[in-house]
Structure 1
Amino acid sequence: MRYNWKSLNKQQVGAFSEYFVKMEFTMYGFQVYSTEVDDRGIDFVTRFENNSFLTIQVKSIRKSGYVFMQKDKFKLSSDLYLVLAILDEHQAPKIYIIPSTEWKTPNELFVDRDYEGKQSKPEYGLNLSKKNMHILNQYEFTKMVPILQKV
């Protein structure tokens, strides 16, 4: 059966999501440039025509929950975007393009955690729940692409 996400391990889900997102950008006319090594939290760079380059980090999750990026690898800037793929069983991925600058004003969806005095590294996160989906919906891929085509 197609989109049987539970049969994939975490690494397979991550790889699928990254390739899927790259292909979606390509289908909308973006040029996509893959990174050789993913040690800086950058999965690829893209741009539309001769516009500015955009740096992309892809994260995926099955259903709801919490997704995070370590602050030392996800530095908030106007050219950095998180692309989130939500994988509901037996459904095509739902993808969202979120400007990293959204974490400058945390709320119930966008989380900023410093963990001072703790073992965990500081992180930015997303609290993904049914209650917060109305906030996330404004970042749907098809809504954000026309904006990014002008950047």
Structure 2
Amino acid sequence: MLTNSCNWDGLDKLRVGRFGEYFAKMAFTRAGYDVYSPEVDDRAIDFVIRTCGAEMRYLEIQVKTVRLARSSYVFMRKKHFPISPDRYLALVTLKQGEEPELYLIPSTVWADPAAPFVSRDYEGKKSDPEYGLTASAKNLNQLGTYRFTERFELAA
């Protein structure tokens, strides 16, 4: 359904990021998870969810939002995004004229990354080491197994 609410070009970068965070929080809430937001985002954790499975766990979620009008690179600094079974990237993709999509990617994929996932150390350079991901309309099929609707129950 094409509506004005799917006009992502009209949002500036700050609003795109804010929208993605709220969209991800609402998706988890709708799926039955408890969602907790930190007062200050100084540890690159946008929110925490509590799972309600046989063993209760708390998962740390970092949100990145991209517009798919062009290829986008998102990254997380390694010092703020340690590989852990309790740390996830929630990637929100915005394609003009379409509803947003949410992908839930465990940080463990960066332990042995394969395209479109990358690990960069930048040895001898000013940039901090990072984990990254190139998101584009072309490589979304590579992210299919991480689509939230297919994955969220695995976090429980």
TM-score class normalised by the smaller sequence:
over 0.9
Q: 1:14, 1:131 → 2: CA distance?
A: 22
Q: 2:13, 2:40 → 1: CA distance?
A: 19
Which residue among 78, 95, 99 is the counterpart of 2:102? Answer: 95
Task: Give a deviation string over 1:115-146, Cα, whole Å, max 9, x none.
Answer: 11112111100022355323211000011112
Q: Does 1:45 align with 2:52?
A: no
Which residue among 122, 135, 138 is the counterpart of 1:128? Answer: 135
Secondary structure of 1:146 counterpart = helix
Which residues of 2 match residues 23-38 of structure 1 at below 5 A? 23-38=26-41
Give me the TM-score of the superposition, normalised by structure 1. Answer: 0.93
2:59 corresponding residue in structure 1: 54
Q: Indicate if the aligned counterparts of 2:66 and 2:135 stay in contact, CA closer than 8 A.
A: no
Give me the TM-score of the superposition, normalised by structure 2. Answer: 0.91
Number of residue pairs matched by the alignment: 149
Q: Does 1:73 align with 2:80?
A: yes
Which residue among 114, 121, 128 is the counterpart of 1:114? Answer: 121
Return the letter of the residue paired with 1:78: P
Moved over 4 A (4+): none
Identity of aligned residues (%): 51
CA spacing shift, 1:131–1:90, aligned 2, 3 Å: closer
Larger CA deviation: 129-138 vs 82-91: 129-138
Q: Indicate if the aligned counterparts of 2:110 and 2:131 stay in contact, CA closer than 8 A.
A: yes
Question: Which runs of 5 or more residues in structure 2 are unaligned?
Answer: none
Q: 1:88, 1:2 → 2: CA distance?
A: 12
Task: Give a deviation string over 1:19-70, Cα, whole Å, max 9, x none.
Answer: 1100110001000000111111100000122620111000011013211111
Q: Alignment RMSD, CA only?
A: 1.2
Q: 1:145, 1:106 → 2: CA distance?
A: 21
Q: Indicate if the aligned counterparts of 1:108 and 1:132 stay in contact, CA closer than 8 A.
A: no
